[in-house]
Amino acid sequence: MSRLIVLCSGGPVPNAERFGSAYILETGNRSGKMRVMVDCGPAAVYKMAKLGIHPLEIEHLFLTHHHFDHMADLGTFLMTRWDHSTGDESPLQIYGPANTGEIVERLIGEKGAFSFDLHARTEHPLSQTMHSLRGGSLPRPGPNVNVHEIGPGIPVDEPGLRVTAAATEHVQPFHESFAYRIETADASVVFTGDAQPCDHVVELGRGAASLVSLCGNFQSKLKERGVEQGQTGTLGAAELAVETGVNQLFLVHMSTDLTARREQAVVEVSEIFDGEVVVTDEMESYELVMPRQQPAVLPGAVARPHIVRH
């Protein structure tokens, strides 16, 4: 069974219930879990810690775009992961749009904001002792991070994990933005990131089981305020769920208006989409339904004769 763990499920305006975007898709069982992270909004690492998840348990981080509410905790994530590394772990793979490499460089590169602390923690005897106590050896290695600036396509296709990226319509040309479809052994989930409903997201989502969609506010509120461009409201999320054919719709990136009247939001969405609708909460996790079976015989494939056993 796979789970969606919601760390941050708000926008750029902090409130007691929500702030920023960050999610983990967790697949596996007691003998081994794979955790894939999408976005790294404010306080994501603190919220992970409260749930008992350490950045070292994340090998794949996908950034949808570079609005701060989606990546403001990246510095904390990178430094915490490095500080507790013994050097034996797999490198962190970060995937994101153009400028992701420069952002990482400006954080932990030679002249990055954290270069002073990287130097201090590498050279000071106290930090060296702490590193040795954790099982690391000296000299202390630097952060082990690979950055992949991607375009639309399939950035990851390995056993047990396939990820497809599609460009979305949000705030171009200032930020490129992506939606991601993440497929594991028992889950097929699309994260819209920030986007207005668009064909690319529909195409990306066709046949997926679950959709994690931006839902900034009630559609009527967005319209009333003239802020529909570049984002999705209740009706947009519902229509996206119908068009992709998913079974589950998780609403994220919500305003206080919507949080305060969540039942009304579910009613409004359910008038269009007849699958499961969840108004998510931070620090909660949700079971993901299995993706539908692929057809036994794909169109165009040669049918094999049935084997009849006696």
What is the binding site for Zn ion (CB under 5 A)?
67, 194
Nearer to Zn ion, 97 or 291 (CB): 97
Would you say 182 and 14 are in contact if contact means Cβ atoms under 8 Å apart?
A: no
Nearer to Zn ion, 12 or 142 (CB): 12
The residue to which tokens 């969606």 are assigned: 4
- Across the chain, where does the E strand assignment appear? 2-9, 21-29, 32-38, 58-62, 92-96, 145-149, 153-158, 161-167, 178-183, 188-191, 210-214, 248-252, 276-279, 284-287
Would you say 48 and 54 are in contact if contact means Cβ atoms under 8 Å apart?
A: yes
Cβ 139 to Zn ion, closest distance in Å? 40
Nearer to Zn ion, 177 or 234 (CB): 177
Nearer to Zn ion, 79 or 103 (CB): 103
Nearer to Zn ion, 26 or 282 (CB): 282
Nearer to Zn ion, 20 or 291 (CB): 20
Q: What angle do CA 274, 203, 10 make, to 5 degrees?
A: 65
Cβ 301 to Zn ion, closest distance in Å? 41
CA distance 207 to 247: 9
Cβ 42 to Zn ion, closest distance in Å? 13
Would you say 188 and 208 are in contact if contact means Cβ atoms under 8 Å apart?
A: yes
Q: What angle do CA 116, 140, 131 make, to 5 degrees?
A: 95
For 154, the token pair is: 């399939």
CA distance 53 to 143: 19
CB within 8 A of 103, min separation 6: which ones? 66, 71, 74
CA distance 8 to 76: 15
Cβ 250 to Zn ion, closest distance in Å? 18
Cβ 170 to Zn ion, closest distance in Å? 6
Cβ 97 to Zn ion, closest distance in Å? 12
Cβ 69 to Zn ion, closest distance in Å? 7
CA distance 44 to 73: 6
Nearer to Zn ion, 95 or 273 (CB): 95
Report the 3 state secondary structure along 3-42: EEEEEEECCCCCCCCCCCEEEEEEEEECCEEEEEEECCCC
CB within 8 A of 147, min separation 6: which ones? 94, 96, 100, 101, 104
Nearer to Zn ion, 60 or 67 (CB): 67
Cβ 64 to Zn ion, closest distance in Å? 8
